[in-house]
Amino acid sequence: MLIIAIAKGRLLKPSLAMLKDAGVELEEDALTSRRLILNSRDSRYKVILVKPVDTPTYVEYGAADLGIAGNDVVIESGADLFQPLDLRFGQCRIAVAALEDAKRKKRAGNPTVRVATKYPSIALEYFNSKSVPVEIIPLAGSIELAPLIGLADMIVDLVETGQTLQDNGLKIVDVISESSARLVINRASYQTKRQEVGAFVRALEELV
């Protein structure tokens, strides 16, 4: 049996649709069921539903053989995973954004840039690469609020359409990376379950 970790949230519905097209027929509707562990009708697969940020951890530590997660989450986690396939859905950008210059609240005499983000590792690496002194402010949600009330000078966040930024008077300053749903595989499972994993990967490749 292959255990597949699927991220809840915006990637859940397209992930389940792809699994179904690849032959993974679940016993229950994962979109309506309250269960977090679902078996396939043929008993070849088990699907576990996890928080997006936890998906790489479940796969890296072998609680799941494979997973589907956003590339943003995989990069931020730093998990040691095999990533053979871009699944071509859930496309977004990891972007740096700030208020229009005229609306920015100046902090006189302080060259350090305050950055609010759900991606502290990605943000720190980006600003270090630019040799910009930075103070990272970790936030779990409503990142756009931080510059509006003077908590941060900039934000690093996942941007899909950019409408939320625009609605709050923010604009994209730079794009750090493109992001989409990725298939990730536990390295040990790739060796010990090579035949099963290989067949599953090929089925997804055909769909992509």
Cα–Cα distance between 115 and 124 in angstroms, integer?
Answer: 9
What does the pLDDT read at residue 108? 56
Per-residue pLDDT at 107: 58
Low-confidence ranges of the chain (pLDDT < 50): 102
pLDDT tens-digit readout, 44-87 = 999 999 999 999 999 999 999 999 999 999 999 999 999 999 99
- Residue 106 has a pLDDT of 57
What fold does the segment set 92-179 form as a domain? D-Maltodextrin-Binding Protein; domain 2 (3.40.190)
- The pLDDT of residue 135 is 97
Shortest CA distance to 58 belongs to which of 135, 111, 3, 139? 3
Instruction: Delimit the CATH 3.40.190.10 region(s) of the chain.
Output: 2-90+180-207, 92-179
How far is the CA of 148 from the CAs of 94, 104, 118, 132, in angstroms?
20, 8, 17, 22
Tokens 């697969």 belong to 45
DSSP letters, 39-97, are: EBTTSSEEEEEE-GGGHHHHHHTTSSSEEEEEHHHHHHHT---EEEEE---S-EEEEEE
pLDDT, position 196: 96
Give the orientation angle of helix 12-21 with respect to helix 194-207, to 10 degrees. 110
pLDDT of residue 141: 87
According to CATH, the superfamily of the domain at 2-90+180-207 is Periplasmic binding protein-like II (3.40.190.10)
Q: What is the pLDDT of residue 111?
A: 83
What count of other Cβ atoms lies within 10 Å of the Cβ of residue 159? 20
